[in-house]
Amino acid sequence: MPSRSHRIAPFEHYHLFNRGVNHQQIFFEERDIARFVFLILHKQSPTTTTTRVEYYTKEFLKHRVWSTTGTTKVKMVGTRSVELVNFCLMDNHFHLTVRELKEGGTSKYMQRILNAYTKYFNTKYKRKGHLFEGPFKAVRVDSNVQLLHLSAYIHRNPRDMHAWRGKEAEYPWSSLQDFIVENRWGRLLSTNVILEQFGKDSETQQKGYKKFVETSTAKSQSYSLPQEHFFEK
């Protein structure tokens, strides 16, 4: 069961996060992290199969766009049990914001993702046992203010890596560029709940959100984001 301070309820937003056991890496190369991106996008729908995940992963790494058809995307959106709002994947941990659409949807979503990725990882790297540090963490977002600051916190995560400090918008394994440049995933990533608060047209929204993230203090554990949203040391 997920570690959480609240019961997961439909139509509420949740911060989902976890890291590798003993803080170990969970992604060693782009193929690994691209596969995880595929899973967090496609597993929103419990009806989605992963029979072609290797094909989609290779195509993305080659062309930097998913080759999923529009019909498939429409079907996934229509049957999804959670709604993915944003994400950031780091070497040894991940952060997602989702809104539960169907009761029990979040737990099943994470179970499908983590089981599938662990099986892939253990097979590829010839290892056994748990990959992640216990159950995933699920923290309810209590207000719109928290939702905004959580989004900034998630998108500022690459600042922890020297090579990406000041270049967070270019980091490919975060949804920041989908908020301030162009949404690569279409309706599979629900950016509007955040962006619509920064203006009426897309250009104003993108500029306003970009400034908000750049100036946010969320990553310094400010009052706007409670301690439970952060990893325990």
pLDDT digits (tens, 9 = 90+) for 94-153: 999 999 999 999 999 999 999 999 999 999 999 999 999 989 999 999 999 999 999 999
Q: Is residue 233 domain-resident?
A: no
CB neighbour list of residue 7: distance below 8 Å, 6 or more residues apart? none
Cβ neighbours of 47 (radius 10 Å): 10
In a domain, 35, yes or no: yes
Domain of residue 45 covers 8-225
Cα angle value 195/56/67 (rounded, 5°): 60
Q: Is the model's pLDDT at 222 over the cut of 80?
A: no
**Is residue 3 domain-resident?**
no
Give yes or no for a contact between 223 and 162, defined as CB atoms under 8 angstroms apart.
no
Alpha helices for 11-50 (secondary structure H):
30-42
**Quick one: which of 170, 208, 206 has its CA closest to 191?**
206
Average pLDDT of 156-162? Answer: 89
Tokens of 167: 């270049």
Domain membership of residue 53 (yes or no) is yes
Asked if residue 18 lies in contact with residue 76, where contact means CB atoms within 8 angstroms, the answer is no
In a domain, residue 71? The reply is yes
